[in-house]
Amino acid sequence: MGQPAARMLDQTAHGGMIMVGFPLVLIGGMPAARVGDFHMCPMLNPGVPPPPHVGGPITKGSASVMIGGMPAARMGDMLTCAGPPDTIVKGCPTVLIGDSMSGGAGAGGSGGEKSGKAAPVSSKETVVEEHYLNVAVVDSGGFPITGAEYELTPPSGPKSVSPLMGGVKEANVDSGSYDIEIRAITSAKWSKKTAKVGEKVQMTAETTGVPAGEKATLEIHVKDSAFPDAVLKTIETKVQGDKIEGEWELVVDKGFLKLQEQKLKGGGFSAPAYYFVAKTSTLSQRSGLLEYKDDIEFKLKDKDGNPIADKKYRIILPSGEVKEDKLDGSGYAKAADVAPGKLKISINVRDDKFPGA
């Protein structure tokens, strides 16, 4: 009797799932899984820190049913793993795949749901050799790389560019030598994590495999916890020396203050940070966050221009943070490293308590 046919996203014994399937054959609405298709394993090996299992390909399938030139996988078939071997524990219950290998008129597995019948395996039939590419592309931790693309150069014919989803998988290819070049924006970084208003910062995104001179953009976004992210500026540039580079400075102008005022209308608070997204026509990478800080200086004088000294003051920042201190003998005060933008300053000239204090 046959076993339920395995498909992409079907579960394995280690708690993971099959991540790849053959897109041209759908079983129960999902791509069919075959020998060579990879799975993901969430388990960890013993150690400090515990190294993760790295899910490998399906190693066993039906000897008589081929899908896209590879043996069909079924519930109960084995998969390789960095830990103990894994097993497929779930499949499509309405499609059963057998394992018949008899000569002459021996039949393969049968199934429902329009699965059809497997063709007889004849001892006299011609065996056609098929070739395929199955290359895993992982990072230094052994995890599949995504968000990139690869350029495939075959022995003959045109090159092709496809998204990279953890590996290179091509079926029914010609025999010969293939050149695979990975294209990606591998990192995106600010030159510093904190800058002062008036200070320019550098943006650098490193690339691999992206042709020099290809058009690129650097999008600067503002991120504020209580509000949607917004694009502040887009800088057009090009890839040069495996890098996308640009320079930016936060300008606290009327536009910046108006945007902040709109955010604060509802009585909320604003504590913005900034990130950029480096883009080519098909690739993108996001940076970490950058904070801008400012220094506030003020002096209190009477109507005749004489300093009013030693008075308590309170500053309410756009973030909601409150700073309290005392003016010096010349009526002067300075608050360093505060978020730029509009703020409220209260000075207690009567030497009593602030409201709510």
CB atoms within 10 A of CB 133: 14
Convert the pLDDT of each residue in 342-354 to its tens digit. 888 888 877 666 5
CB atoms within 10 A of CB 218: 23
State whether 69 and 115 are in the same domain: yes
Sign of CA dihedral 135, 140, 145, 148: negative
Convert the pLDDT of each residue in 9-62 to its tens digit. 999 988 889 999 988 888 888 888 999 999 888 887 777 777 777 788 999 898
pLDDT-based confidence at residue 215 (cuts at 50, 70, 90): very high
State whether 90 and 55 are in the same domain: yes
Convert the pLDDT of each residue in 278-325 to its tens digit. 999 889 999 999 999 988 899 999 899 999 999 999 988 877 888 889
State whether 105 and 77 are in the same domain: yes
State whether 278 and 327 are in the same domain: no
Pick the last residue of a domain from 270, 292, 314.
Answer: 292
Radius of gyration of the chain (CA): 32
Convert the pLDDT of each residue in 230-241 to its tens digit. 898 999 999 999
Convert the pLDDT of each residue in 73-89 to its tens digit. 999 999 888 778 889 99
Integer angstrom CA distances of residue 24 from 39, 69, 91, 134, 297: 19, 12, 18, 17, 68
Q: Is residue 357 part of a domain?
A: no
Residue identified by tokens 């057009």 is 236
State whether 244 and 288 are in the same domain: yes
pTM of the model: 0.56
State whether 219 and 306 are in the same domain: no
pLDDT at 267: 65
Q: Is residue 145 part of a domain?
A: no
Q: Are 14 and 100 in contact (CB under 8 A)?
A: no
**Mean pLDDT (whole number) for 321-336:** 90
State whether 231 and 281 are in the same domain: yes
State whether 268 and 339 are in the same domain: no
pLDDT-based confidence at residue 117 (cuts at 50, 70, 90): very low
What are the DSSP calls for 308-348, one per residue? --S-EEEEE-TTS-EEEEE--TTSEEEEEEE-SS--EEEEE
Residue of 99, 82, 3 whose CA lies nearest to 38? 82
Residue 5, domain CATH: 2.60.200.60
Q: Is residue 48 part of a domain?
A: yes
**Mean pLDDT (whole number) for 152-165:** 85
Q: Is residue 338 part of a domain?
A: yes
Q: What's the domain range around 318?
A: 295-348
State whether 21 and 35 are in the same domain: yes
State whether 286 and 215 are in the same domain: yes
Q: Is residue 195 part of a domain?
A: yes
Pick the last residue of a domain from 109, 127, 145.
Answer: 127
State whether 257 and 335 are in the same domain: no
Kind plus residue range of the DSSP H or E element containing 256 = helix 254-264
Angle at 132 between CA 128 and CA 135, to 5 degrees: 160
Q: Is residue 73 part of a domain?
A: yes
How many domains, the chain?
A: 3
CB atoms within 10 A of CB 85: 12
Phi, psi of 255 (to 5 degrees): -65, -40
pLDDT at 130: 61
Pick the last residue of a domain from 251, 275, 292.
Answer: 292
State whether 283 and 302 are in the same domain: no
**Mean pLDDT (whole number) for 190-217:** 94
Q: Is residue 150 part of a domain?
A: no
Residue 213, domain CATH: 2.60.40.1930
